[in-house]
Every structure is written in C-alpha cells, then in structure tokens.
C-alpha cells in the first residue's frame, strides 16, 4: 500500500493546510506591524544606542533579539512578548513560595494552571506598562539622548506620554493575542514561540550583510559564521534531546478476574530543563549595575563619577570579568530554575498516587529526593552547555576577529538565538508530526 510523503499529505489535507496557512499568515502580519513606529521616536538617538557597544548596548540587543528585531526601530511591538514571559516566570517562581498557591496546584493541577494563566495575563499588562516606561527612560540614559523627546509626566507632556505607554502596552498585548491565535487555530501550542522565532530569523540576513560589507574579512567571516552555526545546531540538538531515563515499575491492572503483570517504564529527566531562561536572567542582572552606574557618570562629585566609571568598565560587555561573571551566573541560574521547575512537577507524590515505584526507593518524599539528586547530576552538563552558549560570542570574536560586529548584536543572534530557533523548529515538527498521525498519516506505509 502506497503512502504519500508527509509534506504532500500535509498540503492535501484541508484541515492541516488551513492551520499551517493561518499560522504563516499571522506571522507575516506580525512582521508588517513590527515596522509601525511609536510616535515621536528619535532615530538618531536610537541608532547611537544600538551601535555604541558596552553593557547597555548588549542588553538592548538581547531585548531586540527576544522581541523579534522590533527594538531596532522602536515599533509599537518594541517589547514583543517579553513582558508576558517575565510575568510567566514570576508566577512560576512565586507558586512554590506562597503556600496557598502551592496548595491550589496540588489539589487540582488543571484548574490551578488556568488560574495561573489568567493571573499571568493580568500581570503581563502591568509589566508591559512598567517596562515601556522603564525602557524609554533607560534607553535615553544609556544613549545620552532621549529616545522620545519630551517624554515624561511633566506639565504639557502628560497626555503624549500616557499615549505612548498605552500604545506600547497595547502592542505587547496584540503580540500575545496573535500568539494565542496561532496556538488555538494554527500550529497547536507554538504561537508565542513562533512569534519570537520569526523575529530572530528575520534578523539573520543582516548579520551576513554586515560581514559581507567588510571586503578584508568577508570570506573568513562568512565561512566561520556558517561553520560555527552548523556546529552549534548539532550541539544544541544533541543536548536538547538528552534524557536520563529512570526505570519505573507501574502496578498491574485488574482485567476481569485476572491481575495483569506489573509494567516496566521509564521516567525521562531532561538534561536542559531550563531552556533559554538562565541566559535571560543572567544578562539582565549583570547589565543592571552598569545601567545604574551610567546614570551617575556625569555626577559633579568626583568619587561618585569615578566609581560609576569603574562599575561600567567591570560590568561592561567588553570587559573580561563581565564574561566570567556571565558564565558563572548562567550556570547558577540553570540549577536554580531547573530546581524550581522540578519541584513543581512533584514526581514523588504523582508516582505514589499511581502506585508506581523506583527500584528500592520508598514512595513519596524519598522518591522526590532521589529524583532530585539524579536531576542535579544531569543538569551539570546542561548548565555548562548554556554557559558556553552565553560566552560563545566573546570566545568566537577573540579567536576570529572577522566576526566582530557593532555591539556584538549580530553574533548574539547566532548563539543564544539559535537555542530558541532550534528548540522551536524541533517542537513545531513534533507537533506537525502528531497532527499528521491524528489525521491518519502512517509513515511506516511510505514507499520510496
């Protein structure tokens, strides 16, 4: 029996074709809206900030990457879905700390997740408004020129400032809404990830254009970038696929008057459970001292000015100490965030409820502690991997000067950004494969 190829089956199945075209159409619409600028933006001040280098520029370029390149023209989507991601992380971190929230999660996990999702949306609105205000203020301080001249709650500027904040907050919620539409009516569960993915991919051509614009090193730079990118993709896939399968014995079920034999299974624990989050945390925290110091560099007090310059130099993206701290903090946050996610899974109680058992380990807390030790051991290579990804721009530009781009922004996309891109592509293909099988596709019947 002949079976059509997966791609042909995808396009000839009306429901699947509709979902795919719907997702692509919304992504195209998102890219068009991302070019709608916030009213009153000073382009010269924005360009100076993006290309200045240093800790501030590095942070701005990271936000630019996560927002899909919308910060580079300060569009109404300049914050992308970043406030929602921040709100989601805050809710996840607070759940095990607040007893009432933890009890809600243990009593009814499904309803608790719906409650968490609703609170995340509310917090995302607040975070979007606060981040919009902070983003405009901090960007203006870092660049030395106001990004939006006249912004502030002073007499005569209140209405225009409120309008700017409302527009940027609405842009963020619009991006989140589009992501939810894709998850609901398009490629299931991949909406927000695809929004970020589309933005990162759209910036890749500019990286190669910048390298090509330098006649002296264009060949070395482009070939090196391609080779490093391919190697990074291989390593990312290898690590992201890494699992430690813990043997689990599930109790047999009664079928009529007979009792079935116990069933052997595996509990897969991921090597890199935290994903991209440790890099975002470490980058934001390390850049914060330099951002604050930048506000005091023009102080009239000499010792304050000297201290601010020293802090900026130490925590600047061009400092060797900055990358050492960055590497250490990424590893620390990888363990911290993995532990938070692991505790939320509550494997010990869940296995105990189902009657499953791991070897000679007692059910309940003893099982949770045992799995915690296993997770900590396998997290070490994952954390080291994230640390290498974090400092790869620095290491690569030291070894290959031809890869140096203004603000390190270009190569940032090809290291940290690749972690997002590869993860999204992998998850999307898995979702499409699941949809194909739900619609009757069987790849075992494929005739070459």
Q: Give percent of the chain above pLDDT 70.
A: 79
**CATH homologous superfamily of 6-445:** SecY subunit domain (1.10.3370.10)
Confidence at residue 442, expressed as pLDDT on a 0 to 100 scale:
61
What integer is the mean pLDDT of 168-176? 89
Strands 263-270 and 243-250: antiparallel
Confidence at residue 448, expressed as pLDDT on a 0 to 100 scale:
47
What integer is the mean pLDDT of 288-308? 69
User: What are the tens digits of pLDDT across the range 89-120?
Assistant: 788 778 778 888 777 777 777 787 788 888 88
Q: Give percent of the chain above pLDDT 90.
A: 1
* Residue boundaries of the structural domains of the chain: 6-445
Confidence at residue 436, expressed as pLDDT on a 0 to 100 scale:
74
**Residues 283 and 59 sit within 8 Å (Cβ to Cβ):** yes
Which range scores top for mean pLDDT: 3-7, 142-146, 300-304, 359-363? 359-363
User: What are the tens digits of pLDDT across the range 132-143?
Assistant: 887 787 777 666
| Average pLDDT for the chain | 77
Quote helix, strand, coil % in the chain, to nearest 5.
Answer: 70, 5, 25
**Does 432 score more than 50 pLDDT?**
yes
Reference 186, options 18, 437, 426; nearest CA is 18
Which range scores top for mean pLDDT: 199-208, 295-304, 375-384? 375-384
Grade residue 291 by pLDDT with cuts at 50, 70 and 90.
Answer: low
**Does 71 score more than 80 pLDDT?**
no
**Does 264 score more than 60 pLDDT?**
yes
132 or 66: whose pLDDT is higher? Answer: 132
11 or 327: whose pLDDT is higher? Answer: 327
User: What are the tens digits of pLDDT across the range 386-426?
Assistant: 888 878 877 777 777 766 665 444 454 556 677 777 777 77
What integer is the mean pLDDT of 27-45? 84
Please report how the helices 416-438 and 218-240 are oriented relative to each other, as an axis angle in degrees rounded to 10: 50
Confidence at residue 302, expressed as pLDDT on a 0 to 100 scale:
74
Contacts by 84-87 with C-beta closer than 8 Å and gap 24+?
84/120, 84/121, 84/124, 84/127, 84/128, 84/172, 84/176, 84/192, 85/192, 85/280, 86/124, 86/127, 86/131, 87/120, 87/121, 87/123, 87/124, 87/126, 87/127
Helix (H) or strand (E) holding 382: helix 365-399
**Does 57 score more than 70 pLDDT?**
no
CA distances from 377 to 166, 313, 339, 394 (A): 46, 36, 12, 28
Count Cβ atoms below 10 Å from residue 399 Cβ, excluding itself: 10
Please report how the helices 54-66 and 82-94 are oriented relative to each other, as an axis angle in degrees rounded to 10: 90
Confidence at residue 56, expressed as pLDDT on a 0 to 100 scale:
58
**Does 315 score more than 80 pLDDT?**
no
pTM above 0.85, yes or no: no
HSE-CB at 104 with a 13 A cutoff on CA atoms is 15
Confidence at residue 363, expressed as pLDDT on a 0 to 100 scale:
81
**Does 270 score more than 80 pLDDT?**
yes
């Amino acid at each position: 029996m002949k079976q059509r190829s997966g791609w042909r089956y995808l396009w000839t199945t009306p429901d699947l074709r509709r979902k795919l075209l719907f997702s692509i159409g919304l992504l195209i619409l998102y890219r068009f809206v991302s070019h709608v600028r916030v009213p009153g933006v000073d382009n010269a001040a924005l360009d100076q900030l993006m290309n200045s280098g240093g800790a501030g520029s590095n942070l701005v370029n990271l936000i630019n990457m996560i927002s899909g390149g919308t910060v580079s023209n300060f569009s109404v989507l300049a914050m992308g879905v970043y406030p929602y991601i921040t709100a989601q992380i805050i809710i996840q971190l607070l759940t095990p700390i607040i007893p009432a929230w933890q009890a809600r999660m243990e009593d009814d996990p499904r309803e608790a997740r719906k409650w968490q999702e609703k609170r995340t949306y509310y917090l995302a609105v607040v975070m979007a408004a606060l981040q919009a205000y902070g983003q405009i203020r901090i960007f203006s301080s870092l660049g030395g020129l106001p990004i939006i001249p006249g912004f502030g709650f002073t007499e005569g500027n209140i209405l225009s400032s409120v309008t700017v904040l409302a527009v940027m907050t609405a842009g963020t919620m619009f991006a989140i809404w589009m992501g939810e539409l894709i998850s609901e009516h398009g490629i299931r569960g991949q909406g927000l990830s695809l929004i970020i993915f589309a933005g990162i991919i759209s910036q890749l051509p500019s990286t190669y254009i910048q390298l090509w614009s330098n006649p002296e090193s264009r060949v070395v730079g482009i070939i090196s970038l391609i080779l490093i990118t391919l190697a990074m993709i291989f390593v990312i896939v290898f690590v992201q696929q890494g699992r430690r399968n813990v043997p689990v014995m599930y109790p047999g079920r009664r079928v009529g008057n007979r009792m079935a034999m116990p069933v052997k299974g595996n509990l897969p624990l991921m090597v890199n459970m935290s994903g991209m989050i440790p890099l975002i945390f470490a980058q934001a925290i390390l850049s914060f001292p330099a951002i604050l110091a930048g506000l005091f560099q023009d102080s009239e007090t000499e010792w304050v000015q000297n201290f601010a310059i020293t802090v900026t130099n130490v925590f600047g993206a061009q400092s060797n100490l900055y990358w050492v701290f960055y590497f250490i903090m990424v590893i620390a946050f990888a363990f911290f965030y993995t532990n938070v996610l692991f505790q939320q899974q509550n494997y010990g109680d869940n296995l105990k409820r189902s009657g499953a058992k791991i070897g000679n380990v007692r059910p309940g807390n003893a099982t949770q502690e045992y799995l915690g030790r296993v997770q900590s051991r396998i997290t070490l290579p994952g954390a080291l991997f994230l640390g290498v990804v974090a400092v790869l721009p620095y290491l690569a530009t030291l070894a290959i000067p031809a890869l140096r781009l203004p603000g390190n922004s270009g190569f940032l996309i090809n290291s940290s950004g690749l972690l997002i891109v590869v993860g999204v592509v992998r998850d999307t293909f898995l979702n499409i494969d699941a949809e194909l099988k739900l619609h009757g596709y069987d790849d075992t019947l494929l005739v070459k």
